[in-house]
Amino acid sequence: MLSESVRFPFIPLPRTSFKRPWMWVNLENIHAPDDKETVYPALLDTGSDYSLVPKSMCEDLRHVFDAGTSPSTTSGVGGGKIMTFCHATRLIIVPPIEGDGIPGVANKVFSPIEFSMRFIDQDLPFILLGQADFLNLFEYTQNRSEDWFSLRRL
């Protein structure tokens, strides 16, 4: 596993040419780990206070959405206030790959991160990685003109 800065390419959003700081992550239920090695797209969102994971991924991980801790509502991810619950989750960042393929989980970029992630009752097509629970663990650098960002674990 790497401890130095890891560079990721900015990737265009589907059906647009606008590039964003995307990466692939594997999520695991800490209380019920399994052998599934599903990777999910994640957007680094420097404007988001907390990370948010869609409810559908909560169910994929065998969490019971409304049995989570810290029930709350959030706004700013669409319209109105939306219910969230936290669940103990292990997040693994997988290395970037060349081209448009989806990487495997065999290699890890950093050691796994365990924290209580907020799952949201909304159908997001990706995970949002926010400041207070994800980005505070890293030094984040980007160069928009050269289409890359980097993370270094603190």
Q: Would the pTM count as exceeding 0.85?
A: yes
Per-residue pLDDT of 105-152, as tens digits, reads 667 788 899 999 999 999 888 999 999 999 999 999 999 999 999 999
pLDDT of residue 131: 94
Nearest to 27 by CA among 9, 39, 15: 39
Per-residue pLDDT of 19-71, as tens digits, reads 899 899 999 999 887 777 788 899 999 999 999 999 999 989 999 999 999 99
Flag whether pLDDT at 2 surpasses 60: no
Per-residue pLDDT of 66-112, as tens digits, reads 999 999 998 867 678 999 999 999 999 988 776 666 666 667 788 89
Retrieve residue 41's tokens: 């797209």
User: Cα 92 vs. chain centroid, distance in angstroms?
Assistant: 9
Domains along the sequence of the chain with CATH? 6-153 (2.40.70.10)
Size of the chain in residues: 154
Q: How far apart are CA 86 and CA 131, in angstroms?
A: 16
∠ CA 49-105-31 to the nearest 5 degrees? 65
> If DSSP codes are grouped into helix, strand and coil, which group holds residue 85?
strand
Whether residue 116 contacts residue 70, with contact meaning beta carbons closer than 8 Å, is answered with yes
